[in-house]
Amino acid sequence: MLVKAYGAHAGEKPLEPMQINRREPAAHDVQIDIAFCGICHSDLHQVRAEWAGTQFPCVPGHEIVGHVSAVGAHVADFKVGDLVGVGCIVDSCKHCDDCETGLENYCDDMVGTYNFPTPDAPGWTLGGYSQNIVVHERYVLRIRHPEAQLAAVAPLLCAGITTYSPLRHWNAGPGKKIGVVGIGGLGHMGIKLAHAMGAHVVAFTTSESKREAAKALGADEVVVSRKPEEMAAHTKSFDFILNTVAAPHDLDAFLVLLKRDGALTLVGAPASPHPSPNVFNLIMKRRTIAGSMIGGIPETQEMLDFCAEHGIVADIELVRADQINESYERMLKGDVKYRFVVDNATLAD
């Protein structure tokens, strides 16, 4: 079926209205009428061909929420009308060690929601800036938030799980001192989630002007990382620091804030490498630098349920489809609190 979408025909061209084809639902497929789709920084990198391998036309979007509008004959867990979400993953091999342990995000054959190979025309996946999407039931998430919050739930599907998964893996919770570096789309979710998990949360920002905003999000303390005396006050005190900043920067400044066995985990994807850290800062206190990429399907469901239970959604600015290009420019300037979400109903205008 042909549906309306918003995408680009080349890396140097703006996004524009287009029509794309969606497959008819197969036995295990769920067809979703998309209500809202968050705008992730990855969307911009991919559609502008700043990352290698972008296929055109490119329709980004992997923070998808909406209603089930059809199901295949063998789908038992979803029915028409259900509130559901789709994140960064729409398929994987389903039988490797990663898939069998519910970590489809690390499957070598993971199929991302856009720009990954698929048998469907045109040969690569097309994402959530579109009226609907058809996805295998395994990769469809149930949303238990009130429907009125649906737009603000969308960013949980990437920004939420990208921060939730490492916070859980490194045991954020009561009695733990957790740092969150960067207060943007990812960081603002990291602060909310770590706070809800019961940790003592310290937000790091380069900008004095974000101090009050970070406290409002749930930070117990805020450190302006450009102020050496503020940084020094936290030396050797953190169990875990979640670093959401993608721009290359000095990792040593944060490593020295970890106590023995502490971990600094990176979730931002820099276009060029960070300066190499001083290995002595790792050796001296058995510290770790790690990375983490989104999360598996069971963990994404767990995150959505945790957020529904704790009343957590993203702070968003709702935009029309014809404002996507402008939203990208504002996102590049950091002019968003904290996530743009597209109202997909405006695709029909």
Q: Is 40 in the site for Zn ion (CB under 5 A)?
A: yes
113 is a contact residue toward Zn ion (CB under 5 A):
no
DSSP string, 190-249: HHHHHHHTT-EEEEEES-GGGHHHHHHHT-SEEEETT-HHHHHTTTT-EEEEEE---S--
Q: Which region, judged by CB under 5 A, interacts with Zn ion, from 38-46, 51-59, 177-185, 263-271?
A: 38-46
Considering the complex, state which of residue 40 and residue 84 has its C-beta at the smaller distance from Zn ion.
40
Residue 99 touching Zn ion (CB under 5 A):
yes
CB-nearer residue toward Zn ion: 71 or 107: 107
Output 238 or 340, the one with its CB closest to Zn ion: 340
Question: Which is closer to Zn ion, CB of 38 or CB of 262?
Answer: 38
Size of the site for Zn ion (CB under 5 A): 8
Distance of closest approach, residue 238 Cβ to Zn ion, in angstroms: 26
State in angstroms the smallest separation of the CB of 99 from Zn ion: 3
- Site for Zn ion contains 107 (CB under 5 A): yes
Q: How far is the CB of 88 from Zn ion (least distance, A)?
A: 6
Residue 183 makes contact with Zn ion by CB under 5 A: no
Per CB under 5 A, does 158 bind Zn ion?
yes
Q: Are 296 and 104 in contact (CB under 8 A)?
A: yes
Binds Zn ion by CB under 5 A, chosen from 31, 46, 54, 92: 92
Give the whole-angstrom CA distance, residue 66 versus residue 50. 29
Does residue 223 interact with Zn ion by CB under 5 A? no
Q: What is the spatial distance between Cα 105 and Cα 89, in angstroms, rounded to a whole number?
A: 7
Q: CA–CA separation, 297 vs 111, rounded Å?
A: 13
**CB 98, min distance to Zn ion, A:** 5
Instruction: Closer to Zn ion by CB, 98 or 239: give it.
Output: 98
Residue 166's identity, in one-letter code, is P
Judged by CB, which is closer to Zn ion: 32, or 246?
246
Q: How far is the CB of 222 from Zn ion (least distance, A)?
A: 25
Q: How far is the CB of 109 from Zn ion (least distance, A)?
A: 6
Helix (H, G, I), strand (E, B) or coil at 325: helix
Q: How many residues does the chain have?
A: 349
Q: Which long-range contacts (CB under 8 A, 24 or more apart) does 111-117 make?
A: 112/62, 112/88, 113/61, 113/62, 113/64, 113/86, 113/87, 113/88, 113/89, 114/43, 114/46, 114/58, 114/59, 114/60, 114/61, 114/62, 115/46, 115/53, 115/54, 115/55, 115/58, 115/60, 116/90, 116/91
Which whole-number Å values give the CA distances from 306 to 60, 145, 250, 261, in the listed order? 27, 10, 33, 27
Please state the closest distance from residue 33 (CB atom) to Zn ion, in A: 21
Give the residue with the Cβ less far from Zn ion, 37 or 143: 37
Q: Which of 96, 282, 289, 293 binds Zn ion (CB under 5 A)?
A: 96
Footprint of Zn ion (CB under 5 A): 40, 42, 92-93, 96, 99, 107, 158
